[in-house]
């Protein structure tokens, strides 16, 4: 289990991987135009060992820098570059305010474009 530990003047702060994944997942879902955060593109063996990723992969580099990969589906008719940029900014802001982390990279992977129920019925 990977954790992020920081030394503070009054003690140390340890963040579990699940906390970071849930913050990133919620930040991505807050953006209007994101249909879902999904892990359907991952191989079955990775899903078996990491059940709680929910379409988010985080890696801590050797120098302590954080790299984030988020896999999303978006609604039809939205600007993909605009959605990706807003998701990146929301994740960056959420991590900075909630846990005082500044990720080195935030990669947004758009997997599918989804229709909502009203468009499919027409």
The per-residue pLDDT for range 68-95, each reduced to its tens digit, is 999 999 999 999 999 999 999 999 999 9
Write down the pLDDT at residue 47: 63
Write down the pLDDT at residue 64: 80
Half-sphere exposure of 88 (CA within 13 A, CB side): 16
Write down the pLDDT at residue 48: 66
CB-CB contact of 117 with 58 (8 Å): no
Residue 51 has pLDDT above 90, yes or no: no
Q: Which domains does the chain have, with CATH numbers?
A: 18-114 (3.30.70.1350)
Query: pLDDT band at 12, cuts 50/70/90?
Result: confident
Q: Global pTM? A: 0.80
């Amino acid at each position: 289990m990977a954790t992020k530990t920081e030394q503070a003047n009054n003690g140390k702060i340890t963040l579990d991987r699940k906390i970071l994944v849930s913050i990133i997942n919620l930040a991505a879902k807050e953006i209007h135009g994101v249909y879902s955060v999904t892990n359907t593109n991952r191989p079955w063996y990775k899903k078996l060992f990491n059940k709680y990723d929910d379409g988010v992969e985080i890696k801590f580099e050797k120098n302590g820098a954080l790299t984030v990969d988020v896999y999303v589906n978006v609604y039809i008719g939205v600007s993909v570059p605009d959605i990706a940029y807003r998701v990146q900014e929301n994740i960056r802001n959420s991590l900075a305010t909630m846990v005082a982390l500044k990720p080195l990279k935030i990669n947004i992977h758009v997997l599918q474009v989804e229709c909502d129920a009203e468009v499919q019925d027409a």
